[in-house]
Structure 1
Amino acid sequence: MVIKKTWNRYLQSYKGLPGASWMLALVVLINRSGSMVLVFMTLYLVHEMGVSTAQAALAISLYGIGGMAGTVAGGFLADKLGYKRIQWVSLFLNGLGFIALGHLHSLRTIQAMMATIGVVAEAFRPANSAAVADSCPQHQLARGYALNRLAVNVGATIGPAVGGLLVLVGYRFLFWVDGLTCLVAALVLLLFYHEPSRTAAHATNGVFGTGSALKDFPFLLFLLVLLCYGMLYMQLLSTFPLFMDSAYGLHASAIGLLFAMNAIICATVEMPLISRFHMVAPLRMVTVGILFFVLGFALLPFGRSGLFAAFTVVLWTIGEILSFPQFSAMVAIRAGERRRGRYMGLYSLSFSTALVLGPAIGGILYQKLGASVLWLSYIPLGLLMIVVLHTGAKPMFEAPSNGRSALELE
């Protein structure tokens, strides 16, 4: 009885979202379920192509640099040419690019192709994020982005798992599967997603007139907070696994279970939690989210068991759940209909930049000052982010007419 009631409540949290937002999430799910080349690209280059680790790492870095350009260009072009068109072009060219990548043999050609794919693939993000905002009424934006994050998390769980099996057969299959899933996602988008007209879309007028995003001071401060948040988050790809191995003595399989637990919690808890607290002011949600997030990492030096590590994962996952959907919703509202792609492009750029800077800076701190200093630094950085959000960046969370929380205006 309790299980049935819980299940019904879980399903209820998804009701009311427009069909277009479900279709966008399906496209993301298909695309992400085939995302496996990047996960195994370093191994492929080292073991199959015989290049050095540094050369393989450079190929991944070039993808990241291309991605930084792609997010900005994708957002700008999405405003000019339409969100659906940019998503379709990105998926289609990305699919062809991954298939072609598997047939290249020159290291320089591979590195150039990785940079090109980075531009094309990451152009999808701002266009997709802007399309979600067009598909959802303003009071459902956080839930719409939570649905998209569900698709990302489920796909990110499927892709590497399937990729690991394909590697046993041959690396070449990775490129074909990744490329074909991109093409399938592009086909589904083209045939089944109907972009709302600009007059019929669930649009907001924006709260910064018609000025440039680069002159929107509260938004720029907000991006700095996101950059800091993203750099802390990206330690999950670098120093966190190292610390779990060296300090906690966890093997790769156990560390993988911690990441799987994060994905499972997001998939099962995020939407019900967002629905349950939909009347809570977004700024308050983000504040609590940041506190949970930094606490989860700051506690790492004080434990050494796998159970304690799992407890910290629960904490920072709750923080992630409370923060990320609100971040996306606030940017969409701030931008308004006509500049949403550009705002989302800069929003995506902050995380792309964090992916480049975060592991490098975190690695230096980890090596020079020690892991404890790195993890404990999360507390003052978290408090600093909260102060900025409650002062200079506070207009991001307010509607222009009466200062009420933007998501409370239905």
Structure 2
Amino acid sequence: MTRKDPVKLIWLFLGSLIVNTGISFIWPLTTIYMHEYLHEPLTVAAMVLLVNSGFTVLGNFLGGFLFDKWHPYQTMILGISISGISAGLLIFFHGWPTYAILLITIGLGNGMVNTGVNSTATLIKSKQTSYIFNVLYFTSNLGLVFGSLIVGLILPLGITYIFLLAFILFAGFSVVIVLEFKGLNDAKEAVKSGRETELTGAGTTFDRTGIILVLVCLFVSWIAYEQWQSNISTYMISLGMSVRSYSLLWTLNGILIVFFQPLLTHFDDFLTQHLRGRLYTGFILFAVAFLFLITATHYAAFMIAMAVLTIGEILAFPAVSTFVNDRASLLEKGKYQGFVMATASAGRAFGPLIGALVIEAISYQSLFIVAAGLVLLSVLIFDVVSKRKTTAITKQN
């Protein structure tokens, strides 16, 4: 008999929304808060963000490992407890260097939680995993949009209220986990015991090479994506455009995600059947967006590039989780979802630095060419190696 889902989908999606809203209350303020309020140099703020990203990657790996090898339920509780306690301490202790230390521990906890959410998706049986990853990507982005909007309203009242609100959200999600995620351990044990092999991907072929290559595509794409959140803003200002014009690009990004992501979810069956095509199309659109920027001098060109980038993003990023899940070994799906989250976190961490080095050494236009070229090269390698492997398997059979 088919077992029930270990977690109701509504609680999984709501949890993703809550935790990503809480995250967006804290990390976007780091540079401004450390420089303007704590009077630390921008280089120090950049180093704190880099270490925070490093601990987020560590949390991704640790969360995936503990989800598979220990207890999923306790892993989720541990991760959200680290985040919640850190946010709670920030309410009272947000001077230097306490702020930096607690920001780093929040990164560790959030890394564990986000990997736990994605790993939980692999145990859901009432919907296709691809559908769940699509919705999770939507809720995570919606949380970032909500968080950014709320921060703008609350920050004038004082930074303490931002930390208080983040703590309330993390505490709220911890209650959800305690009450609604109890079935995780039993579901994982059922998979380990082999009692539900037929329900959890029997016939799935473990494909380490495919996983590594698609993660390389993801890493390169996130490095490129981060240019929009860092170096492209200064490039637009150098062309005489305003900060408000730049921020409106992210409004366009949010609108397109909110509109198109549910539409893609509606066609989930078709997209799952053509998963490689979805990945190729998404990553290629990423590259095309940067090709638009090479000669961009007017605001309209930046809007078109952002629109193309966003469509590529919603096609490729959720599909990576599905691709990896389909090819991960049955008992290590949590670990490999941790790899997905860690790869994205690493791309976010190194993207601004790599972009700045290219700009200083050559030019902005060279950065756009390099970004497009690396994404296209990674996709080409992924495609060629995958086809060779498929041909080799066919000949053996």
Q: TM-score scaled to structure 1, two decimals? A: 0.84
8 Å Cα contact 1:143/1:325 also seen in 2: no
- Which one is further off, 386-395 or 27-36? 386-395
**Contact (CA 8 Å) 2:287, 2:376: kept in 1 or not?**
no
Partner of 1:27: 15
Runs in 1 of length 4+ with deviation above 4 angstroms?
A: 205-209, 393-398, 400-403
CA distance in 2, matches of 1:288, 1:150: 19
Amino acid at match of 1:129: N
Q: Which residue identity is paired with 2:15?
A: V
Q: In the superposition, relative to structure 1, how do residues 98 and 19 fare at CA in structure 2: closer, same or farther (>3 Å)?
A: closer
Aligned equivalents of 2:395 and 2:315: distance in 1?
A: 25
Cα contact 1:334–1:396 (8 A) shared by 2:
no
Distance (Å, rounded) in 1 between the aligned partners of 2:317 and 2:85? 31
Higher helix share: 2
Assess if the C-alpha contact under 8 Å between 1:166 and 1:173 holds in 2. Answer: yes
Structure 1: stretches of 5+ with no match in the other structure: 1-16, 404-410
Give yes or no for the alignment of 1:74 onto 2:66: no
Amino acid at match of 1:286: L
Are 1:279 and 2:270 an aligned pair?
A: yes
Structure 2: distance between partners of 1:51 and 1:239 = 21
The alpha-carbon deviation at position 50 of structure 1 amounts to: 2.8
CA contact (8 A) 1:64 1:118 kept: yes
The answer on whether the counterparts of 1:145 and 1:328 sit within 8 Å (CA) in structure 2 is yes
**How many positions carry a matched residue from both structures?**
379
1:237 aligns with 2:229: yes
Shift of 1:105: 5.5
CA contact (8 A) 2:58 2:108 kept: yes
Tell me, in whole angstroms, the C-alpha distance in 2 between the residues paired with 1:51 and 1:136. Answer: 49
So what's the TM-score if we normalise by structure 2?
0.87
SS of 2:40's partner is coil
CA distance in 1, matches of 2:387, 2:165: 44
SS of equivalent to 2:385: coil
8 Å CA contact retained: 1:204, 1:337: yes
AA paired with 2:301? F
The answer to whether the 8 Å contact 1:222/1:396 transfers is no
1:225 is matched with: 217
Aligned amino acid, residue 260 of structure 2: V
1:164 aligns with 2:161: no
Check if 1:58 corresponds to 2:55. no
Aligned to 2:325: 332
Q: 1:369 to 1:30 in 2, by over 3 A?
A: same
Q: For 2:79, which of 87, 90, 99 is the aligned residue?
A: 90
Compared with structure 1, are the counterparts of its residues 333 and 82 closer, same or farther at alpha carbon in structure 2 (3 Å cutoff)? farther
Deviation at 1:391, TM superposition (A): 2.7
Deviation of 1:343 after TM superposition, in Å, equals: 0.8
CA deviation string 1:206-243 (max 9, x = no partner): 7456xxx9xx3332233222221221111122112222
Partner of 1:204: 201
Whether the aligned pair in 1 keeps the contact of 2:221 and 2:286 (CA below 8 Å) is: no
Selected match of 1:382 from 375, 383, 386: 375
Pick from 259, 265, 280 the counterpart of residue 268 of structure 1. Answer: 259
Q: Deviations over 1:54-104 (max 9, x none)?
A: 223322222112112111111101112333332232122201101212322
- The answer as to whether partners of 2:6 and 2:182 remain within 8 angstroms in 1 is no
> CA-to-partner distance for each residue in 1:342-383, whole Å, 9 max, x for gaps?
111122221122122211111111222111111122333232
Partner residue in 2 for 1:251: 242
| Structure 2 CA distance for partners of 1:379 and 1:114, relative to 1, 3 Å | closer
CA contact (8 A) 2:215 2:343 kept: yes
- In 1, distance between residues paired with 2:365 and 2:213? 28
Partner of 2:102: 113
Matched, 1:310 2:295: no
CA distance in 2, matches of 1:52, 1:380: 34
Mapped contact 1:143–1:271 kept (Cα < 8 A): no
Aligned-residue sequence identity (percent) comes to 21
Contact kept, 8 Å, 1:64 with 1:352, in 2: the verdict is yes
Q: Measure, in 2, the Cα distance between the counterparts of 1:143 and 1:395.
A: 29
Partner of 1:10: none
Runs (5+) with no aligned partner, structure 2? 191-195
User: Shift of residue 277 of structure 1?
Assistant: 6.0
